[in-house]
Amino acid sequence: MSTAIILGGTGQIGLAVAERLARDGWKVRLVSRTPPPIFGPWQHVVADREDPAALRKALAGGAELLLDCVAFDVRHADQLLEFRDSVGRLALISSASVYCDATGRTLDEASQLGFPAYPLPIPEDHRTVEPGPQTYSTRKVAIERRLLDEAIIPVTVLRPCAIHGPYSKHAREWWFVKRLLDGRKRIPLAYGGRSRFQTTSTQAIAEALCFSLNSNGSQVLNVVDADAPTVAEIGRAIMNAMERQADLLGLPDAPYPPTFGATPWSVEKPIFCASSVPNAETYAERVTHAVRWLIAATPGRDWREILRQLAAYPWQHFDYDVDDQALAIEGAEDLAI
């Protein structure tokens, strides 16, 4: 039986991958600081990756696959390289945010330098930012390059975009789910609801990782849903999953970031990616899992404690006074179903 070790294994990505690998007959070991939120066919080891002794103990015995879901700077790449003699393949969760446009702009600086204009779809060999410590994306590139250049063993780099699935601390779907639970009947959307910010389910990430195991070499793979829905299509998919309906109102275009109707997917220019990984399921077919988890996880609790990354956005997600102001903006139009 092959063994897989997943660092950060009790988060949304780690759990989705663990479930898939266990189903395929793998022995799975989750390594994290906190216990998994659900029981499953895996072993859990408590360890903080910043504690070298604890990490070595957690990874003792090696594995055919070591997946890192929580690598955030080049130090973490160096940690992984210490174990390259005892694992068959290294895999890294990176991000599609590493791509830059022809002028070097990325998502990280969009509010200061202007929104990047990407080729569509963005191919897996598209130009990335240079590695460095400056931003989230430059740090991810630094990790990617260190592993690809020095690992010797095969490396899989996975670049998802707007991730969705159960157990997320950054569940963008809550933007619509809470409005529907709160009985909002008209929901304003920036950029006419036309924004396209590529979505990626945690199931698609698990499938992409399994796809990469068929290759003996290193790979860099974009990970995407089978479609790249607009914000309006995302809203309708969530409404269908909840069996609740509201009218969607498209607002006139505005400078980025928008003041009104700003969803977690609202972008001035579209972002969607090409992928070598076969994927037959769309956002609408997979988002139900995230929606059901949100509805079950939030009653009687402050959502900010559950969705800490979403709560950290530099604006209020649920200022309904602002929503009401948006409904009266000249040029706003009801979006036909």
Residue 159 β-bridge partners: 222
What was the pLDDT predicted at 1?
79
Q: Which residue has the tokens 């690992």?
A: 151
pLDDT in tens, 137-148: 999 999 999 999
Q: How confident is the model at residue 111 (pLDDT cuts 50, 70, 90)?
A: confident
Per-residue confidence at 131, pLDDT binned at 50, 70, 90?
very high
Q: Which of 26-30, 190-194, 254-258 has the lowest mean pLDDT?
A: 254-258
pLDDT at 158: 98
**pLDDT average, residue stretch 92-111:** 95
The contacts of residue 305 (CB under 8 Å, 6+ apart) are none
Task: Please give the structure tokens belonging to residue 19.
Answer: 């479930």
With b for 16 or more beta-carbon neighbours within 10 A and e for fewer, the 12-43 pattern comes to bbbbbbbbbbeeeebbbbbbbeeebeeeeebe
Quick one: how far is CA 39 from the chain centroid?
Answer: 23
Cβ-contact 45, 30 below 8 angstroms: yes
What domains, with CATH codes, occur in the chain? 71-334 (3.40.50.720)
- pLDDT tens sequence across 35-62: 999 999 999 999 999 999 999 999 999 9
pLDDT at 294 over 80: yes
Per-residue model confidence (pLDDT) at position 22:
97
DSSP, collapsed to helix, strand or coil, labels residue 179 as: helix
d(CA 259, CA 117): 21
Helices (H) and strands (E) in the chain, counts: 12, 12
- What confidence tens digit (pLDDT) does each residue in 160-181 have? 999 999 999 999 999 999 999 9
Give the per-residue pLDDT at 336. 80
295-309 average pLDDT score? 97
Q: Give the pLDDT mean for 181-205.
A: 98
Amino acid present at 162: A
Q: Phi and psi at residue 219, in whole multiples of 5°? A: -145, 150
Q: Determine the pLDDT at residue 227.
A: 97
Contact predicate 36/29, CB 8 Å: no
* Mean pLDDT value across the chain: 96
Mean pLDDT of 214-221: 96
**pTM reported for the whole predicted model:** 0.97
Q: Residue 184 region, left (φ>0) first, then alpha (ψ -120 to 50), else beta?
A: beta
Average pLDDT of the segment spanning 256-273? 96
Tell whether the model's pLDDT for residue 241 goes beyond 80.
yes
d(CA 190, CA 335): 12
Span of 107-116, 129-138, 172-181, 242-251 with lowest mean pLDDT: 107-116
Average pLDDT over residues 123-130: 98
pLDDT reported for residue 280: 84
pLDDT digits (tens, 9 = 90+) for 269-282: 999 999 999 988 99
Say whether pLDDT at 337 is over 80: no
* Residue whose C-alpha is closest to residue 47's, from 79, 93, 87: 79
